[in-house]
Structure 1
Amino acid sequence: MCTHFFINDSFSPSLNLLIFNGLWTNPNILMFSSSACSSGNYGPGCKFNCSCQNGGICSRLSGGCECPRGYYGQSCEHECPPGFHGFNCIHTCDCQNGASCDVAKGQCVCPAGFHGNHCEQECPPGMFGDNCRQLCDCEGESSCHPITGKCLCPPGRTGARCETECKAGHYGPDCLLLCECSRGALCNPVNGSCACPRRRMGPTCKENGLAPEQPETHSSSEASTQGKRGQS
């Protein structure tokens, strides 16, 4: 008496196997041992080595590889190309600002300076770096670069932490601009405007602030007297 069981191999749907007297039997193809192959082997007598890579699952009957999420290829040897993820890499990533995504789950991996589910948000003021987890170390209300953390000094301030006011003759962001004030006028370190000394005027204090000399004038009586003298 024999017992018949038909088993369908998920990797080879057309392959029906028959248990006959303790042997896996396909009348038209091969005789398989009734004991399951150990991991890494397949085929008749389990004499073939599986070629699956990156955690791929090998069919102990056919040797075909079932690739995990994030990989594809006959031996699961290829990782999903940029912008794709999931089983057989058929899903597209939904990330912004140059972010990549996890090849298995599709979770966005934000570059430094950005955060959010899709990396759609820049670091808020006072934060920088990967996932915006680091605190800026700048004086006062100075902000920092969202990627590097370098302090971005406001007009009138300079230094690694924006701790220093501009020296005389300089103004603007990080004190990079030269003042154009003349005649010893003081320069505003924030906007470069000139505070002119007395009797000077103009944007750079170059103009003389004194009123021009008025031409000499004569009264009518003086003019009449001079006329009479000229007639005598």
Structure 2
Amino acid sequence: MPTLGHTSKLGATTMKALSAQTLDITLRSLPSVGCENDYWGPHCSNRCQCQNGAKCNPITGACVCTDGYQGWRCEEPCEHGYYGKLCQLPCQCLNGATCNHETGECICAPGYSGAFCGERCPSGSHGPQCEQRCPCQNGGTCHHITGDCSCRTGWTGSVCAQPCPLGKYGSNCSKDCSCRNGGVCDHITGQCQCAAGFSGRRCQDDCPVGTFGPQCNQRCECQNGAKCHHINGACLCETGFKGPNCQERFCPPGLYGLICDKYCPCNSTNTVSCHPLSGECSCSAGWTGLYCNETCPPGYFGEGCMLPCSCTNGADCHTVTGACICAPGFMAGFGKEDVGIHRPAVISSLGKDQNRGGWQGVDCSILCSSGTWGLGCNQTCLCGNGAACDPMDGICTCSPGWRGEHCHESCPDGTYGLECRERCDCTHADGCDPVSGYCRCYPGWTGQYCVL
């Protein structure tokens, strides 16, 4: 069997024509000539020049590259984008990643992850291999590559740790606040938070009359027409009054004027006081007029008769308490506290709980319950046989088939219906039903009128 001696016996032209792949197959099929590693040639005297773990042909010295390398001496890694045996496999990596020239494993660029580097870093991480934690605070998000923070509305700073500076709000703190009178705006929404004593969308208004302080939620306690300061609640007294709440008159009771030398002209019994400067009368509940000597006109009650009554169905209103005095046929009920005039048909209209014994309503809006009538609904109906009585006068309204003052009398023969006004129309019958008018036929007769 012939053996290969050296390269010249194979033919130089033939060797050059062999591709690397053909050469590899050929070399693998050749019998071993017994050279030690890293040597080749007829006398195994030539040292192999192959690099990166490649083996050389023991006869020719040609290099057989390992995966990921190329070149005569296997000194070059695969070109960018290729890997593996003979550098013929294309890389599958994305987003600027490189692949291992031997295995094809993707080496992701900063900010990406996954087998083929097709995914961005998970939320909260960034950088090479997504190993760096995002430093952003207050809901800020970081760039998956650089880690730079994008702040939520109302926040600023390299890690979104600071709210917008005073006077700014919104996305990137780019909007100007429009609050007035010392109000500050919410760094996120821009909504104004007003200083004590001010209100309105832009804090442009003083507190409404009668209120003061933070959020205008405190009630003024000033009396006698005094106004209170919208910020601190201090009372600004009208002329003629003094005290922290303007509750004191300069003049003694019964006197008025600049030097308190005039007598009040008011009816002393019906008057609360007179103005210390002008002498104008302040009337007690139930009284009105220049000198408090006139009772309230119908429909009004209270101090100076300024409050409108809320009674209905013709009820009168008590001039002092506003209690409703119900007309006959209507009722109201006392509540947990008896107020107004203590009579069953009288109830205060001042808005307290008004339920006792099943009665309800405070303004005489409820008719007397079935079976009662009259003032205070304290009269008992005497109507019989299902008749209804008028809640105001007790007059009975008889059911069909009945008559009489108290509906105790049946309709006379030959009549029926309401007030017995209908006439029976029967032929061979013993009269008709007093309620329905249906004929009571004699034996042997039938039909609506007993003619069959």
TM-score w.r.t. length of structure 1? 0.64
Structure 1 counterpart SS, 2:26: strand
* Displacement of 1:192: 5.8
* Compared CA separation, residues 193 and 95, structure 1 to 2 (3 A): farther
- The more displaced of 84-93 and 163-172 is 163-172
Distance 2:151 2:160 in 1: 5
- The more displaced of 185-194 and 133-142 is 185-194
* Compared CA separation, residues 162 and 12, structure 1 to 2 (3 A): closer
Counterpart selection for 2:106 from 93, 108, 126:
108
Matches within 5 A, 1:185-200: 186-190=184-188, 196-198=202-204
* Compared CA separation, residues 103 and 191, structure 1 to 2 (3 A): farther
* Displacement of 1:17: 7.7
Q: Which amino acid aligns with 2:102?
A: A
Percent identity of paired positions between Structure 1 and Structure 2? 35
Please tell me whether the aligned partners of residues 158 and 173 of structure 1 are also in contact (alpha carbons under 8 angstroms).
no
Q: Deviations over 1:87-136 (max 9, x none)?
A: 11100011111111111111111111111111111012111122222322
Superposed CA RMSD in Å reads 3.3
TM-score w.r.t. length of structure 2? 0.35
Matches within 5 A, 1:48-197: 48-175=46-173, 177=174, 179=176, 181=178, 186-190=184-188, 196-197=202-203
Structure 1 counterpart SS, 2:129: helix
Q: Which amino acid aligns with 1:47?
A: S
Please tell me whether the aligned partners of residues 179 and 187 of structure 1 are also in contact (alpha carbons under 8 angstroms).
no
Q: Deviations over 1:21-54 (max 9, x none)?
A: xxx9xxxxxxxxx6x3232221021222212112
* Displacement of 1:196: 2.3
Q: Which amino acid aligns with 2:26?
A: P
Q: Which amino acid aligns with 1:13?
A: T
Q: Deviations over 1:141-177 (max 9, x none)?
A: 22222123233322211233322111113334554x2
Distance 1:47 1:12 in 2: 24
Distance 1:186 1:48 in 2: 89
* Compared CA separation, residues 192 and 58, structure 1 to 2 (3 A): farther
Gaps of 5+ in 2: 5-21, 193-200, 206-452
Match of residue 26 from structure 2? 13
Q: Which amino acid aligns with 2:204?
A: R
Match of residue 39 from structure 2? 41
* Compared CA separation, residues 17 and 153, structure 1 to 2 (3 A): closer
Structure 1 counterpart SS, 2:92: coil
Q: Name which one, 1 or 2, has greater alpha-carbon Rg.
A: 2
Distance 2:189 2:47 in 1: 76
Distance 1:174 1:114 in 2: 27
Distance 2:189 2:54 in 1: 65
Distance 2:68 2:124 in 1: 36
Please tell me whether the aligned partners of residues 108 and 119 of structure 1 are also in contact (alpha carbons under 8 angstroms).
yes
Distance 1:89 1:68 in 2: 10
Match of residue 446 from structure 2? none
- The more displaced of 123-132 and 85-94 is 123-132
Match of residue 292 from structure 2? none
Which structure has more RCO (C-alpha within 8 Å, separation ≥ 6)?
A: 1
